[in-house]
Chain A
Amino acid sequence: MSIKRIISIFRNDFVNSIRDKMIVYLMIAPVLLALVVRFFIPGYENISIKFGVEESLKPSIGAFLENYADVEYFENRSEIYNRIEQYDDFFGISTSSDGNFDFILQGNENERNIEIADGLLNYYSTPSVVRDSLDIEIKSSGKTLPILATIGFIFVILVSYLFGGLTIAFNMIEEKESETLKALDVTPLKLSELVVGRSILGYFMPIVHAYLGVLIMGFEGINMFMLLIITLVSSLIGIVFGFAIGFISSNQFNGITNMKIGLLILMIPTILTFFLPKGAQIFLYWAPTYWSAMALKDLVNVQQRWGNMFIQISGIILTLTIFILILTPRFKRTLKL
């Protein structure tokens, strides 16, 4: 393997990326995403139980509910009805004809939210002597990050390496279309040199993004060495994904279709990692992005252990190896280097 040839491939891609501003996007996109996540997702867990209360009840139950929930005030009952009919879980409080209160629901609310809302109304209805008869203290360790902050961070890294991979893919497709790739066939360049030279950018960029992501999100107590290892191994997913699309697709049209299917196959397991219970996650073991997401999830929640991480990165490598083995004959056929 000649370092000189690898460097010239890298230089060529680098110059091309600067020319069409790809490199700027590649660097900025994940950082922007991290900022968006940081800005819109609260760093703490909160519930947004929402109540709509009739204006006249503002001093009584309205003021009470404001301590625990988001409260909006409405002129009359029909306005509350209109708001409840919207898509989200929203409860209404209004005076009933018998002078009592009505607790208005749409009927499709999340059961847990109904329970919480009902509990709040029970608390309101109970005399304070009784409420205070049990001494309760809440101790929060702050160890578990809000699920959305974790997903956001994983997406920052995922976007970083997938975007790197896609740059590889579309550079290759353009070269195929302009027949440059065929010209390379008659040079001494080896397949391995092409792969390494082309991967350098997409491989190292995610490390920068991972560290910036941790800084922007303000995560604490993260083992930075583990982060480095997980990111380096995860970046391989982007590289394999990029080359797979680049080799398989004969033109941009084809490339975009393959990209769509590929992204789908890689993104779905990442999202499901958070929403499927542990027992059902066996269905996701085939996906390298699942292992990567699990490793990052444990890391940012400061519960990653070396043994566990070793299993997860082995998962990434093993699944990628299987993908590569399946695709290699196709690669070789496309490019007889």
Chain B
Amino acid sequence: MIKRIFFNFLKEVKIGWRGNYFLLTVGIAVFYIVFIQFLLPGFINQNTNVYIFTEIDFEIDYEDIRIEEFENVFFVNDLDELHSKLDKNRESFGIYISGTESNPKVELFIQGNEDEALKEVYKISILNSFGVLSENNFNKVYLNNKISSPIKMNNYMVPILLLTEAVMMGIIFVFTMIFTEKNEGTIYAYSVTPGKIFEYLLGKVLYLIFLGLIFTSVFCVPLFGFRVNYLELFLVIALGSFFSTSVSLIFASFYDNISQSLFSMLALNLILIAPMFSYLIPSFNPPIMRIIPTYGILFNLRNILFSDYGNLIYSDLLVILLEGIVFFLISSVLYNRMIKKK
């Protein structure tokens, strides 16, 4: 059995080699290296502009109210100017201070659709910045070390690219492989040999894992050198690729050509890359995202590449492995049935 799986794998490698798939994989990895190193900035200045208008007859010690915490502070001459500045720059906010020394009043102008809880949080942040609140005496307990240095923005994008290319490479390729073989009848011819259909499918899965690992090596070594635990990295990529290829095998079994399957293929892609938004926007983290298996894969990739973020979570990897096995078994049953029908 092992021998047959190996030869199936070898067959896929040969076909892939002839079809220049290895060259393509290396080419995409090199394109991404250039993209990460030269096109994306490492650090970005996301300071929000703050416009302040004061209408008071007392002096404010701005150092006292820690105004330097807001970067890019601009003082304006009247409320109209404040509003027109805010209108021109939708990411900025405005502060209007009025009243008397004994009874000062602060108005904060923001521009989003904030809910009540968030408005309250902003209020508390202002009180905090203005030094009104006393320091809390909670003991800060850190479970791990604090992040030693901020991660460069361009490097932070690497796990997303590993997810879309190395882990999800199988999704699109498996569709074409299956359609070609359905059209050429290879899959039906194979069914009359002593080989089992799951061995045939496993050959494809292993080949796509192999391509994913080649991509990972070519992409990550020039960017991170050898300070990354490659064993862990390869483990996550292999499990992720096994899962995504198995899912795609199921989808591909229902169609005969690319045009018919385009919708499912793209929908599957969109669902599996959705956790990217939780990754890029840390406060967006609904439970629905967390049940998408690629969520765990993406964050585990982050933890491996930037160890400050924490350790690999093995329980999640086990879940992905089990899901992969279940989907793979389902796909084997489906292909067996398809062949019998024929």
Contacts and interface: CB of A to CB of B under 8 A. Distances in A.
Contact of B135 (A40, A122, A256): A122
B330 interface: no
Given A140-B114, A252-B179, A301 B90 contact: yes
A103 B139 contact: yes
A2 interface: no
B311 to A, nearest CB: 8
B263 A29 contact: yes
Contacts of B186: none
Contacts of A277: 41, 44-46
Interface size range of chain A in the complex: 35 or more
Given A81-B143, A253-B176, A256-B258, A110 B282 contact: yes
Interface string A118-156: 111111111000110111111111111111100100000
Given A138-B119, A143-B90, A170 B137 contact: no
Contacts of A86: 313
A140 B91 CA distance: 13
Contacts of B309: 108
B282 A102 contact: no
A243 to B, nearest CB: 16
Given A25-B263, A252-B176, A301-B90, A46 B142 contact: no
A113 B283 contact: yes
B172 A256 contact: yes
B136 A122 contact: yes
B122 A135 contact: no
A45 B113 contact: yes
Given A20-B260, A107-B144, A136-B123, A261 B28 contact: yes
B282 A113 contact: yes
B285 A48 contact: yes
Given A68-B121, A106-B142, A256-B175, A131 B133 contact: yes
B291 interface: no
A86 B122 CA distance: 27
Contact of A116 (B121, B143, B295): B121
B260 A106 contact: no
A187 B296 CA distance: 56
B107 interface: yes
Given A21-B260, A102-B139, 13 more contacts: A46-B118, A88-B282, A89-B283, A96-B139, A101-B138, A101-B139, A108-B144, A125-B138, A131-B132, A166-B262, A253-B180, A260-B172, A277-B46
30 contacts: A22-B260, A33-B270, A43-B113, A45-B118, A47-B118, A68-B124, A69-B117, A88-B278, A89-B283, A102-B138, A103-B141, A107-B145, A108-B308, A113-B282, A121-B138, A131-B132, A133-B132, A134-B126, A136-B108, A138-B119, A138-B122, A141-B86, A141-B110, A144-B91, A144-B111, A252-B258, A264-B28, A276-B41, A277-B41, A280-B40
